[in-house]
Structure 1
Amino acid sequence: MSQPKFRHSLLALAVASVVSMPAYAQQEAQSEENEAKALERIEVTARRKTESLQEVPVSVSSFSAGDLTDVGVEDITELQQRIPNATIQVSRGTNSTLTAYIRGVGQQDPLWGFEPGVGVYIDDVYMARPQGAVLEVFDLERIEVLRGPQGTLYGKNTIGGALKYVTKELTGYDELSIQGTVGSYNQRDIKISGQTAISDNLYVGAAVASLQRDGFGEYVNTGEDNYNKDLLTYRISAKWLINSDMDLKFSYDKTEDDSNAKGAYRLQTSAVTGQEPYDDVYNSNTAMPVDNLVETEGWSLIYNWDVNANWGFKSVTASREGYTNTNIDFNSTGEPIFMVPAIYEDEQFTQEFQLSYTNNRDFDFVGGVYFYDGEACGVFGTVLPMYLAALGGVTVDNGGCVDTDSLAFYGQGTYQMNDDWSLTLGGRYTKDEKEADVFRYTYLGVHYINDGSVGTPYDPAQVRAAYGDPFAVNSEFTSGGDWSRFSPHVAVNFQATDDVMLYASYSNGFKSGGVDMRADKSLNPTIDEPYDPEIVDTFEFGLKSELLDGRMRLNSAVFFSDYTDMQVTVQRVVEAGISSQVLNAGESTVKGFEVETVFAATDSLNFTAMLGYIDAEFDAVVYTEPATGETTDVTDAWSFQNTPELTYNIGFNQTFDLESGQIVWSGNYAYRDDVQMFEAASPLDQDSYGLLNTSVVWYSNSGQWSVGLHGKNLTDEEYRVGGYNFGPTFGDDAIVGYYGDPRTVSLSVGYKF
């Protein structure tokens, strides 16, 4: 198989990309006539097969590499602006931990043992932990975001939706590209990627990115950077074409984030030091080292076999592991009042066998078996040097491990009943088994669990060996359980015209139960009992259409979800410390709608819009106070976390022809309604806000050079994305917030050999 030595990407054909909303598509090359042309077909793999976006009875948004390059998207959290009814944000104290919600379903707490409600996948490999899940955009083919339960075809815990990160395919062509970026706060990034063919049937590729930036603020009392970035990530891959029907692809990736731990902004004056909130929300104080390390790495082996014209077989074997070592000063005054050093460590192995069938006429099917084996461990110390100061302070160490085994069988088939009607039926049977070891010890005096003095700090025997017998044993137990469920899916499509498709679907989502790894039995004697699974039943009615001779794409959906036993993490300050519970929050209802559209007004001008509305409310919730056993009906007092009622995005994309190439000017305004950080109202709740962005990118006629100028959050909007809400705690309060990026401007220059 002969391969050319170089293939220059024809970027000039793709510069009219629509980049301000999820359903973007690249327009065809500009014609000599000054009239709009039809939007290009978008292909997705939402149903584990390649289909047109307009044929899939699923609410899905797709972003190509070109779409993201045009607006300078740096990581997946920026997609939040372009997806209706979604929250995709950095979680609290690091750059790399993800908080993801779709249609009100997600997981706010990144503690080990708690599982996300939105599944993140890299090339069909599920990432079980949110640490390291803020994926950087590089060496990318596309990103797909599926909204609503996706359990029929995807692995564990896609009860809210799935985010698919698809890396660039190895083609065997010789390619090499380099991009450098400088920007605000001394941003200095470099990305290099390339691939080649070693032989006619063996291709290799590699990509590396170094991302550096000074802090948006500083730790005022130490002078160190706050909200800085120091990250290195790389990927290597190889593809072997065994024969015309078989191929085998190996991939390995690693990310190391050495950015400082983020310091939080105090919202109230300290009762201990008198420190008032700073004028700059990115400034903080700390009584701890700002050392922070988040490492993730993984490998995968994907085997494809086209058995014959009808049958296909696929095997996905993968392993991933992660490590986090960080420090969080909850009080943020510079005095050692309430400090939390923490270590998280996890590893997972997954194996999926998939069988597909099509008769190339009226029926296709995808089914298989999925196995997951994972262990998540961790420990954090609540270090209180000034609490009971006469006794030298207090340290509470909380840690342990949870082992999870999951086995699932799934299948989904689509039957084309006639030219207009098709029926899809699917189901997934899942069985999860978990066993957790939990300890919580109270020591008099001060020590740091992550100072290296304990070999395995989440092993209670090693903790006791290092620090002796504790003053009090708050928890020391083993617990677990197993849960199983069959999750069905059914969808009906009606092709009303060649350009209009209507669909109705029902999907069931399931996330298994677990054990609260913060459990304190001295405060809550029944806390060692596992919490139950949460379940969502979602009905959706949608429309997918292409209007005005293909110049306008208009997709919309209306959905209704019955949410049962929602897992809500609740932490309360009590006289003896901080009490944690995971409540199965009764019954709740989520309903809303979504609209996405792109309109090619002329051959060089596109307008785009996205609108999401969601009404999420608890129908029946009773909260039990752990210290007293007193029950309270909080149905009317609680609200959904991280779920704004209204989101919208409007934008444009204009192309200008020059003798030297083309310029693409794009801009968008993204609005988010009021949002509540936790289940109960708090000072951390964020008012509505909007972000204004614009980009100007020049592409050379040769397709080799590109220069992009990107301005983000141009109005310098101040908005919170997370925080901690502990009232009077150990002599002071800990009501502190974390914030999204301020106004930034960056300049990128790229060259493709």
Structure 2
Amino acid sequence: MHRLSPSVRSILVTGAALGALAATPALAQDAPVEAAAVEEATEGEIVVTARRREESLIDVPISMSVVTGDSLVASGAADITALQDKTPNLTLQIARGSNSTLIAFSRGVGQQDPLWGFEPGVALYIDDVYVARPQGAVLDIFDVERVEVLRGPQGTLYGRNTIGGAVKYVTRRLGNDYKASFRGSYGSYNQIDLVGQVVVPLGDTLSLGAAVAQYWRDGYGTNLTTGAEHYDKDVLAARVSAEFTPTDNIFVRVAGDRTLDRSNPRHGTRLLPNGADPIYAPTDSVYDTRAGIGDDNRVETRGLSITGEIGLSDMLTFKTITAWRDGSTDTLIDFDNTIQPTLDIPAEYSDRQFTQELQLLYEGDRIQGVFGVYYLNGRASGAFDTVVGLLNTTTLTAGEVFTKSYAAFGDFSFDLTDQFKISAGLRYTRDEKTGSVYRQNFTGIRSPWFGNATAVPGLIRSDYTNSRDFEKLTPRLSLSYQPHSDLNLYASYGKGFKSGGFDMRGDVVLTPTTVNGYNPETIDSYEIGMKGAFLDRKLFVNLAGFYSDYKDQQVTIQVPALPSGIASFVDNAGKGEIYGFELETRMVPSRHFQASVVVGYTHADYKEFLTFIGGGTTPVDVSDQRAFQNTPEWTANASFTWSNDVAGGVLAFTPAISFRSDTQMFELATPALDQDGYALVDAALNWTSGDGRYRVGVAARNLTDARYRVGGYNFPGALLGNSVIGYYGPPRTVTGTFEIKF
């Protein structure tokens, strides 16, 4: 079985290997300080597993970014949403309501609606284990070696629901040496981060590891009704693992993780008044709320995985990945942001999944590749009340979706000559889904499901169970020309699809066809690119241009529908055209200075958007009135790192600025919610001792204290309290950190 050399492992840990990725903020912050740190880094390679096997980043014909965990920590990143500021054409944001639910978009493709039963468009993987639900997917930065961000459809190797790309969270291998570390941070709003990690070898073949992280922070604002913190953080996370290596050809890893988020719910803030009534007036601070529904929120996720690798020969490796995950969410959203139950949503979600993947990897002189099979068995369920207090009515929505998914895939690269390589892959996927939806009106504030036993039952709006099967072939093809080892020119084609399903808010009274569910969406993506190292490996450039043909996009539309509250339906909207480019550069003129520039451009345009309007029964094309959500046309980041020898170590200073152009929150323009372009300025100062044991750092984020919306809801109208509410990114924060390694 292939093993990474110590030098390559060192490069991966330090993030100093510059395979052209401007996403890694600072070289010297991560590495033990040596006189030739930069020179050694530029001679190595970043090793990634984007094609399910270990390869040099330059050799992979995919537009992707790699960010080390150490560099994220050194920059003061709170969680993986910080990748949005460092990676072109990417949106990673904390969703509305909960502190732990992820909204992800890449190149215009993603998932706005985190309700159970809906599939993500950008898939999240933890150590090659697919995380099917966005709840609990806002991962904190601990015990992580690197994060790989793959752009464009990854349907061949990663399957359905990677139609926009994939984010791979790769934790550290334990190894056979004793290691321990502790990191403590204190910052603005009484932020306290405590992270401890330890690896204990038991003989030459078995190692045990554990990592525990506790995060506390006061709120950026206050609930002016209850006095509770708003936008606070209270998260406890832990991972334990065991690695068994009885021979050079056998590796087994057992890993478990648990995260408990007890942060208060995010109710948002009102953006518009509702007449002259002062209780509906916007607050002075965008981080304050007047929500009266309460402050109880709890999100728990757990996982267990077993990974085994057996070297069958010098060229063949068998790999198995068995995993189980589950999660539960109890949350509250106060849409009207007042003490009154004008528009309140108490909600609960739960999910579980079992996955099994088998792979056979081949690595020959001129042929490399992988063949595999995959199985998923999952259940997602939930319930919520839509309380319209001014009408004294509640609509209960409850349901569940069972999914079985089967897939077989293969992806192989052929070295036609020393310079020309062709890679081809194909995946067959079959999904079997059964969905159940129940909606009922009640008179009273809340339904019996959420504690009001006196609520008077009314019209049953939906009560159905239906099943549908979906299947698809998703091919991939690429051609690479490498005139030398430091330059790769490539062209590729890939197809992706996101599975169809059932609208968990489906209202049979308003939209009788909802019982039939909605169809899959598909994308055909074409890409040309270059990855190269120039000027004696002092300049690294990644450049990719792409064109995508997007069909049958799944769009969730929610509109007021009194007296039933809110109506929802899912449209397969029609056709979209997406094209753009990504540029990532890094310059390393000396060991004391480096700079990076990242630019992303996405032009996303609907060519057809079919929907029902005004109660009509014939779909109407409104493509000239719709735009892609969460897709800024321009994203950019620039940073530099200056470093010098100071007090027996290295002092590194890294300022950075990131920019995102105008963004629409939903397909239909909403001026009160849509976000104008904005820039964020960050800076980090880190001192690392010469032996790498100690680090002292200060990180400042959003230095200009910009106010920018990352989400919102739009329910206008007097009876719904004119509930147009926004959710905001963090204000200016400063955090000091001390880290020690034993």
TM-score over 0.5 (shorter chain): yes
Per-residue CA deviations over 1:388-447 (Å, capped at 9, x if unaligned) read xxxxx2111001100000000000000000011000010000000100110001111123
The structure 1 residue matched to 2:344, chosen from 322, 339, 348, is 339
Partners of 1:102 and 1:25 in 2: CA distance: 26
> Does 2:483 align with 1:496?
yes
Aligned to 1:531: 518
Deviates more, 1:102-111 or 1:658-667: 658-667
> Does 2:572 align with 1:584?
yes
Q: TM-score, normalised by structure 2?
A: 0.95
Q: How many Å apart are 1:23 and its aligned residue?
A: 9.1
**1:592 partner amino acid:** G
Aligned to 1:519: 506
Aligned to 2:3: none
Partners of 1:731 and 1:75 in 2: CA distance: 34
The structure 2 residue matched to 1:632, chosen from 611, 620, 623, is 620
**2:705 partner amino acid:** D
Aligned to 2:190: 186
Q: How many Å apart are 1:498 and its aligned residue?
A: 4.0
Residues 230, 266 of structure 2: 8 Å contact kept:
yes
Residues 670, 691 of structure 1: 8 Å contact kept:
yes
Q: How many Å apart are 1:633 and its aligned residue?
A: 2.5
Residues 18, 42 of structure 2: 8 Å contact kept:
no
Residues 77, 141 of structure 2: 8 Å contact kept:
yes
Aligned to 2:317: 312
SS at match of 1:386: helix
The structure 2 residue matched to 1:273, chosen from 270, 277, 283, is 277
User: Within 5 A, what are the aligned runs for 1:734-745?
Assistant: 734-745=723-734
The structure 2 residue matched to 1:303, chosen from 301, 305, 308, is 308
Residues 37, 600 of structure 1: 8 Å contact kept:
no
Q: How many Å apart are 1:574 and its aligned residue?
A: 2.7
Residues 107, 602 of structure 2: 8 Å contact kept:
yes
**1:531 partner amino acid:** Y
**1:442 partner amino acid:** N
> Does 2:584 align with 1:596?
yes
**2:496 partner amino acid:** G
Q: How many Å apart are 1:631 and its aligned residue?
A: 4.2
Residues 249, 302 of structure 1: 8 Å contact kept:
yes
Residues 17, 24 of structure 1: 8 Å contact kept:
no
Per-residue CA deviations over 1:54-110 (Å, capped at 9, x if unaligned) read 111001101122322321222100010011111001011111000000000100000
Distance 1:467 1:503, change over 3 A: farther
Distance 1:256 1:185, change over 3 A: same
SS at match of 1:730: helix
Deviates more, 1:271-280 or 1:52-61: 271-280
Report how many residues are paired. 729
Residues 18, 608 of structure 1: 8 Å contact kept:
no
Partners of 1:478 and 1:308 in 2: CA distance: 50
5+ residue gaps, structure 2, are 1-8
> Does 2:438 align with 1:436?
no
Aligned to 2:444: 445
Partners of 1:196 and 1:111 in 2: CA distance: 41
User: Within 5 A, what are the aligned runs for 1:683-694?
Assistant: 683-694=672-683
**2:393 partner amino acid:** V
Question: How many percent identity over aligned positions?
Answer: 42
User: Within 5 A, what are the aligned runs for 1:102-117?
Assistant: 102-117=106-121
Q: How many Å apart are 1:628 and its aligned residue?
A: 3.8
**2:362 partner amino acid:** Y
Partners of 2:344 and 2:601 in 1: CA distance: 39
User: Within 5 A, what are the aligned runs for 1:9-88?
Assistant: 21-22=23-24, 31=35, 38=42, 40-88=44-92
**2:533 partner amino acid:** E
Partners of 2:454 and 2:17 in 1: CA distance: 62
Partners of 1:12 and 1:63 in 2: CA distance: 10
5+ residue gaps, structure 1, are 1-6, 388-392, 454-465
RMSD: 2.4
Partners of 2:729 and 2:312 in 1: CA distance: 49
Partners of 2:303 and 2:448 in 1: CA distance: 27
SS at match of 1:69: helix
Residues 201, 241 of structure 1: 8 Å contact kept:
yes
Aligned to 1:252: 256
> Does 2:209 align with 1:205?
yes
Aligned to 1:652: 640
Residues 413, 422 of structure 2: 8 Å contact kept:
yes
Aligned to 2:157: 153
Partners of 1:373 and 1:646 in 2: CA distance: 39
Distance 1:16 1:307, change over 3 A: closer
Partners of 1:401 and 1:715 in 2: CA distance: 45
Q: TM-score, normalised by structure 1?
A: 0.93
SS at match of 2:70: helix
Deviates more, 1:345-354 or 1:62-71: 62-71
Distance 1:10 1:471, change over 3 A: closer
Residues 696, 709 of structure 1: 8 Å contact kept:
yes
Distance 1:532 1:48, change over 3 A: same
Aligned to 2:407: 408
Partners of 1:708 and 1:340 in 2: CA distance: 42
